[in-house]
Every structure is written in C-alpha cells, then in structure tokens.
Structure 1
Amino acid sequence: MEEFYMGFAQRARDLAENADPFTKRRLLDLAQRYDLKSRPGAASRWSLPPQRPMPPTVLFSGSGEA
C-alpha cells in the first residue's frame, strides 16, 4: 500500500510543475498528505476530519397550514 500512495504523491508533484501557483500549492499539499499515508503506521497519525452531519432534506412535512 505504501507504493500506491508514493506513486500518487509523485504524480501530484509532476502535475504541480506545470500548474498555476494556486493549483501548484494544492497539488503539493496533496502530495505531502500522500507521503504521510505512505509511511508505515501513518494511519494513526493522519486521518480525515470527521464528516459533518447532513441536515434532513425535508424539514417539515404536511400541508403547511398552522
């Protein structure tokens, strides 16, 4: 699995070489995250933030009369 993430990190760096400054910064940040994930035991040090709860799609049901 380490090689998988290392490959993604290198691919992000390669893309960053020809990118505009904003995209380059984001790609290099992404490459850094992949590098962290490629190290053994990195899963306990780095994880995704918790998902935010989704609001219900229908807040009220009924005819709408009071």
Structure 2
Amino acid sequence: MLDDEFNRQRARLVRDLADRADPFIKRRLLDLASRYEQPRKTKPLVLPPINVKEHLDRGSDG
C-alpha cells in the first residue's frame, strides 16, 4: 500500500535527521519516527441508516 511505503520512507528520513540532531531534538524526532512506524488503527466507516422510502414519500415537502 502506498501509505505504508510513505510511512516507512518518512520514518527513515526522520531517523536520519535524528542522527544529526542535538539530544533534545533527537528525542522528539525519534518519537515522531516511531509514530510513522506504528500500524494504523483504522475503523470502517459506519454510515447511519437512511429511510429512503420515508424520504421519497415526503416528496418535495422537506
């Protein structure tokens, strides 16, 4: 998946930057890199139920 490849590349780039940073920034960059490496926690989109028949019965009233 493209997002996974992007995240791997971004984590690698951020880790490379961290290697050259001062200790404070390095810690923050390594934390950022670990966030790119974490698996995404996605949930399927749940659509609310729609009563189409009721909507069509109203016609142009609403």
Query: What amino acid is the match of 2:14?
Result: A
Percent of paired sites with the same residue? 52
Q: Provide TM-score, normalisation by structure 2.
A: 0.60
Q: How many residues align?
A: 40
Give the counterpart of 1:21 among 23, 29, 36: 23
Q: Partner amino acid for 1:23? A: I
Q: Distance in 2 between matches of 1:43 and 1:5?
A: 10
Structure 1: runs of 5 or more not aligned: 37-41, 46-66
Normalising by the residue count of structure 1, what TM-score does the alignment of the two structures yield?
Answer: 0.56
| Bigger helix share | 2
Q: For the aligned residues, what is the CA RMSD?
A: 1.3
Deviation beyond 6 Å, 4+ runs, structure 1: none
